[in-house]
Amino acid sequence: MSITPDKLRYCESHEWVYLADPSTGIATIGISAFAVEELTDLVFMALPKVGQTVTAGSEFGEVESVKAVSPMYSPVSGTVVEVHTALVDKLESLGVDPYNEGWIIKVQMSDPLELNKLLDWEAYQKQCNH
């Protein structure tokens, strides 16, 4: 099933998170179409390893565009259980479909209530259009 941006939660720093099945507590994380557009041409991405712990608001990786390095911040706390390593060799897919093909990591959440602190689609759009 395709993920659409209105079903996601967002950080102010432009990462999205999606909880496909609440019973698993596994959240999928990526960066928004707005972030990809602002970063312009992406050339490199540094990703975490499976098993690494992340905390909400902390850096889990970095992305480099032609002119800039930008950290990626985790929207939730937990343990990285899957990393989309193939994405590093096809960063252009982030520009095509950042919400499906462009997923970056999956995290076993330690506190699912953290999702409630994040922006919904409407609030995130308002931030981007400011």
Q: Which residues bind other proteins (CB under 8 A)?
A: 12-13, 34, 38, 40-41, 43-44, 46, 57, 62, 64-71, 73, 89-90, 92, 127-130
Smallest distance, other proteins to C-beta of residue 32, A: 12
Smallest distance, other proteins to C-beta of residue 126, A: 11
**Phi and psi torsions of 117, nearest 5°:** -85, -5
CA dist., res. 62 & res. 67, Å (int): 13
Smallest distance, other proteins to C-beta of residue 21, A: 30
Smallest distance, other proteins to C-beta of residue 20, A: 27
Using the minimum distance from each CB to other proteins, give the nearer residue, 55 or 108. Answer: 55
Using the minimum distance from each CB to other proteins, give the nearer residue, 19 or 76. Answer: 76
Using the minimum distance from each CB to other proteins, give the nearer residue, 20 or 90. Answer: 90
Residue 127's contacts (CB-CB under 8 Å, 6 or more residues apart) are 12, 119
Using the minimum distance from each CB to other proteins, give the nearer residue, 49 or 67. Answer: 67
Residue 27's contacts (CB-CB under 8 Å, 6 or more residues apart) are 17, 18, 19, 75, 76, 78, 106, 107, 109, 115
**Residue 48 neighbours by CB distance under 10 Å:** 18
